[in-house]
């Protein structure tokens, strides 16, 4: 995601202690081979440095959590030969052998220099605990499984306890990230990595060390765009490592524990900063750097559930801007009593502007107080600051806050291809264009929600549906109908490799188009007409949460399996063909519609049975409305915009 770069104003730099004014946060990073001179480490360190965090990384290939908490039998520099970034060796010897690796590193350096943050990147080499826990649980041996789990939880907690002895302002633990199917290291599967992250998160609960989930789905979606993203099945390519490093840096910087260095304000710095501020403009702030207090009750929409809730105004609640939400408003994090609530939310732009205004007023007042108390400039220093602190919101010229660049360009004209959708010009699309199609579906989402949110961040269903016709090319309409419908109706099937069941739903859409034309529906009619026909595909019903989940880009749905099914669909072999071309209905095993006594279609797609005991979640039917097929009226279909 790219944003318009806004220079941080010097008054706000005072509160954050940025590098440009000589105030650094001293940070230590430890890790395994993923941190040993890798693009991940360089990206993480460089990203942290832009926020004033000076970081030294020490890593050991093959190291486990246990290695860092036990007392080594040899001096650290012998057992620990690699200092990955940015130094090439330790500043001074570490001869003490009565302390663990992490304890020695925490005590390394000048005595008066206290660490402000510690970043831990470990987990891949702890795979055996998670693997055993999974295997023993499946084997029905919970007590043995629990024993392995407890061993690992104890190690993680002990490492955090040893870090806590130095009481850094912030601690972040970055869990292992995704792998692809290339190369070796098969024992460290994605299931194992997910479990390692889950165990780490459980161990860190209630501590002052925050967990950064390396198996975050949004990170996987970014990796999938690259195709193959590891060098050997475990270690990331440079491009993927850069994405992981940036992801980790954002998580570390935006953590909920207030770092010590934020308290390193010096009143002596105030005078030159205030003087410098006279030449600055409030437009220069980047609102994403700050937690903005709620000055009035606001409504926010969860990007995970789509539900809207009210946040009451008080000094203990705050929001932090992440970026502009496609369709209007902003994506934000929400804090209550200093605690970060799980997930992301969308709120109106006006709530952000009010928060910025309140924040700036208090910054002016604080700078004025610190300047005068420092005695460096006398009572006449920066009278503008004092005057500005009493001005109204309208005087602050903060309109640029709503100009952050959105996730992707919105192309409203139906005559242009949306970014990535040019791959649809070739029919059928090529398999190697999957990454373009991933971009295409995101571009379509952005286009159809643009301007269609209410003041609370929720989507207007009718306006979004209208936009699917008015803003998309015919090829994009068909693609959107196929992908959105399959994702909302049977999307979870792809996680189990059941692409054939997803393709069966696509076949229903395709067949209904043919049946509609046979019954005299006038052109244009396509799969989107069929998908949005009232009370047919339940995911589009007003009371069904799936239409919001699938259509709203802020929900970050993973369409990889749906697009894979779309690419396979044109060449898929449907048997028996005479029945496959007449299927028009389906339902889950758990419901009994009025037409359930119609002929069942015992489909086989690419040699995979779609119907059979225990083999499917959906039952498919043909000749439900007679030999001519689907019989809904053209006049009752969704009205095109």
Q: What angle do CA 62, 67, 73 make, to 5 degrees?
A: 115
Give the model's confidence band at 527: pLDDT under 50 very low, under 70 low, under 90 confident, else very high.
Answer: very high
Name every residue whose Cβ is closer than 8 Å to that of residue 570 and which is 6 or more positions away in sequence: 428
For residue 43, how far is the Cα from the chain centroid? 18
The token pair at 68 is 């860092």
Q: What pLDDT score does 113 carry?
A: 54
Overall residue count recorded for the chain in this entry? 641
pLDDT digits (tens, 9 = 90+) for 364-400: 444 444 444 444 333 333 333 334 333 333 333 333 3
Q: What pLDDT score does 522 carry?
A: 78
Give the model's confidence band at 541: pLDDT under 50 very low, under 70 low, under 90 confident, else very high.
Answer: very high
Q: Residue 451: left (phi > 0), alpha (psi -120 to 50), or beta?
A: left
Specify whether the CB–CB gap between 71 and 59 falls below 8 A: no
DSSP alpha helix (H) spans, 431-473: 434-449, 461-470
> Residue 611 above 80 pLDDT?
no
Q: Helix (H, G, I), strand (E, B), or coil: what is residue 170?
A: strand
Q: Rounded to a whole number, what is the distance in angstroms from the first to the last CA of the chain? A: 31
**Backbone dihedral angles phi then psi of residue 482, each to the nearest 5 degrees:** -65, -50
Q: Identify each DSSP E strand in 100-214 by its residue range.
A: 117-121, 170-174, 209-212
105-119, 241-255, 257-271: least confidently modelled range: 257-271
Distance separating alpha carbons of residues 230 and 33, to the nearest angstrom: 14
Distance separating alpha carbons of residues 99 and 97, to the nearest angstrom: 5
SS3 helix, strand, coil % of the chain, rounded to 5? 45, 15, 40
Give the model's confidence band at 443: pLDDT under 50 very low, under 70 low, under 90 confident, else very high.
Answer: very high
Q: What pLDDT score does 413 carry?
A: 53
Specify whether the CB–CB gap between 72 and 78 falls below 8 A: no
Q: What angle do CA 115, 119, 124 make, to 5 degrees?
A: 150
Distance separating alpha carbons of residues 51 and 289, to the nearest angstrom: 9
Q: Average pLDDT, stretch 406-422?
A: 64
Q: Average pLDDT, stretch 440-460?
A: 86
Distance separating alpha carbons of residues 221 and 240, to the nearest angstrom: 11
User: Average pLDDT, whole number, for the chain?
Assistant: 75
- Tell which wins on pLDDT, 13 or 281: 281
Q: What pLDDT score does 11 carry?
A: 29
45-54, 378-387, 448-457, 620-629: least confidently modelled range: 378-387
Distance separating alpha carbons of residues 249 and 486, to the nearest angstrom: 35
> Residue 444 above 90 pLDDT?
yes
Q: Average pLDDT, stretch 137-152?
A: 90
pLDDT digits (tens, 9 = 90+) for 500-525: 889 999 999 999 999 998 888 877 88
Which of 92, 89, 29, 90 minimizes the C-alpha distance to 59?
29
Q: What pLDDT score does 590 carry?
A: 75
Which residue segments constitute the domains of the chain, with CATH numbers given?
Answer: 24-262 (3.40.50.1110), 266-403 (no CATH), 421-636 (no CATH)
> Residue 135 above 80 pLDDT?
yes
Give the model's confidence band at 463: pLDDT under 50 very low, under 70 low, under 90 confident, else very high.
Answer: very high
Q: Identify each DSSP E strand in 377-459 by its residue range.
A: none
Q: Average pLDDT, stretch 347-352?
A: 77
Q: What angle do CA 303, 309, 312 make, to 5 degrees?
A: 125
Name the CA radius of gyration of the chain, rounded: 28
286-295, 317-326, 344-353, 555-564: least confidently modelled range: 286-295
Which of 577, 590, 588 minimizes the C-alpha distance to 622?
577
Q: What pLDDT score does 83 carry?
A: 52
Q: Helix (H, G, I), strand (E, B), or coil: what is residue 581?
A: coil
The token pair at 194 is 């997910």
Specify whether the CB–CB gap between 336 and 276 falls below 8 A: no
Taking the CB of residue 591, how many other CB atoms lie within 10 A of it? 9
40-54, 386-400, 557-571, 575-589: least confidently modelled range: 386-400
- Tell which wins on pLDDT, 52 or 204: 204
> Residue 218 above 80 pLDDT?
yes
> Residue 293 above 60 pLDDT?
yes
**Backbone dihedral angles phi then psi of residue 173, each to the nearest 5 degrees:** -115, 115
- Tell which wins on pLDDT, 4 or 630: 630
Which of 471, 222, 438, 218 minimizes the C-alpha distance to 327?
471
Which of 91, 124, 121 minimizes the C-alpha distance to 108?
91
Q: What pLDDT score does 252 carry?
A: 85
Q: Helix (H, G, I), strand (E, B), or coil: what is residue 134?
A: helix
102-106, 155-159, 527-531, 565-569: least confidently modelled range: 102-106
Specify whether the CB–CB gap between 563 and 584 falls below 8 A: no
Which of 8, 18, 56 minimizes the C-alpha distance to 264?
18
Specify whether the CB–CB gap between 122 and 173 falls below 8 A: yes
> Residue 5 above 70 pLDDT?
no
Place of tokens 């006006």: 350
Name every residue whose Cβ is closer than 8 Å to that of residue 394 and which is 6 or more positions away in sequence: none
Which of 135, 126, 133, 118 minimizes the C-alpha distance to 172?
118
Name every residue whose Cβ is closer than 8 Å to that of residue 350 and which is 6 or more positions away in sequence: 455
Q: What pLDDT score does 24 carry?
A: 53
Distance separating alpha carbons of residues 496 and 606, to the nearest angstrom: 16
The token pair at 583 is 């299927």
Q: What pLDDT score does 36 carry?
A: 84
């Amino acid at each position: 995601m790219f944003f318009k770069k806004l220079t941080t104003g010097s008054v706000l730099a005072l509160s954050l202690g940025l590098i440009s004014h000589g105030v650094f946060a001293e940070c230590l990073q430890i890790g395994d081979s993923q941190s040993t001179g890798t693009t991940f480490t360089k990206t993480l360190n460089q990203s942290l440095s832009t926020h004033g965090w000076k970081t030294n990384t020490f890593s050991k290939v093959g190291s486990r959590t246990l290695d860092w908490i036990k007392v080594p039998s040899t001096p650290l520099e012998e057992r620990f030969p690699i200092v990955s970034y940015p130094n090439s060796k330790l500043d001074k010897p570490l001869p003490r052998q009565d302390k663990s690796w992490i304890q020695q590193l925490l005590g390394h350096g000048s005595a008066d220099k206290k660490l402000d943050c510690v970043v831990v990147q470990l987990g891949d080499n702890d795979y055996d605990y998670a693997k055993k826990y999974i295997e023993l649980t499946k084997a029905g041996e919970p007590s043995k499984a629990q024993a392995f789990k407890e061993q690992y939880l104890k190690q993680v907690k002990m490492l955090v306890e040893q870090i806590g002895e130095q009481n850094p302002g912030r601690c972040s633990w970055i869990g292992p990230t995704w792998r692809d199917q290339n190369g070796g290291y098969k024992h460290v599967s994605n299931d194992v990595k997910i479990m390692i992250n889950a165990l780490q998160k459980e161990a860190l609960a209630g501590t002052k060390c925050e967990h950064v989930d390396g198996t975050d789905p949004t990170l996987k979606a970014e990796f999938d765009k690259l195709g193959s993203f590891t060098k050997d099945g475990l270690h990331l390519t440079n491009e993927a490592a850069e994405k992981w490093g940036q992801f980790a840096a954002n998580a570390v910087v935006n953590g909920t524990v207030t770092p010590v260095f934020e308290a390193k304000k010096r009143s002596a710095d105030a005078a030159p900063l205030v003087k410098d501020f006279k030449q600055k403009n409030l437009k220069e702030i980047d609102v994403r750097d700050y937690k903005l207090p709620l000055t009035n009750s606001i409504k926010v929409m969860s990007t995970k559930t789509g539900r809207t809730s009210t946040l009451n105004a008080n000094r203990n609640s705050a929001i932090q801007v992440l970026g502009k939400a496609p369709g209007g408003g902003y994506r934000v994090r929400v804090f209550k009593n200093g605690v970060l609530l799980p997930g992301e939310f969308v709120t109106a732009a006006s709530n952000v502007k009010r928060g910025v205004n309140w924040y700036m007023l208090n910054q002016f007042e604080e700078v004025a107080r610190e300047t005068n108390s420092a005695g460096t400039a006398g009572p006449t220093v920066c009278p503008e600051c004092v005057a500005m602190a009493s001005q109204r919101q309208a005087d602050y010229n903060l309109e640029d806050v709503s100009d952050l660049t959105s996730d992707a360009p919105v192309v409203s004209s139906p005559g242009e291809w949306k970014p990535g959708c040019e791959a649809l010009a070739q029919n059928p699309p090529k398999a190697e264009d999957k990454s373009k199609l991933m971009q295409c579906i995101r571009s379509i989402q952005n286009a159809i929600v643009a301007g269609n949110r209410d003041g609370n961040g929720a989507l207007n269903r009718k306006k979004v549906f209208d936009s699917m016709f008015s803003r998309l090319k015919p090829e994009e309409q068909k693609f959107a109908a196929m992908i959105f419908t399959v994702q909302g109706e049977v999307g979870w099937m792809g996680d189990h490799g059941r692409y054939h069941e997803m393709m069966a739903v696509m076949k229903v859409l395709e067949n209904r188009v043919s049946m509609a034309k046979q019954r005299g529906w006038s052109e244009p009619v396509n799969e989107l007409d069929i998908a949005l026909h009232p009370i047919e595909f339940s995911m589009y019903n007003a009371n069904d949460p799936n239409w919001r989940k699938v259509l709203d880009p802020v929900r970050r749905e993973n369409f990889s399996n749906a697009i894979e099914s779309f690419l396979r669909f044109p060449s898929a072999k449907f048997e028996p063909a005479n029945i496959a071309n007449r299927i028009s209905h389906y339902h889950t095993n758990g419901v009994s519609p009025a037409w359930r006594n119609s002929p069942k279609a015992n489909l086989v797609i690419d040699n995979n049975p779609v119907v059979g005991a225990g083999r499917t979640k959906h039952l498919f039917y043909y000749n439900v409305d007679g030999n001519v097929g689907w019989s809904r009226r053209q006049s009752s279909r969704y009205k095109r915009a």
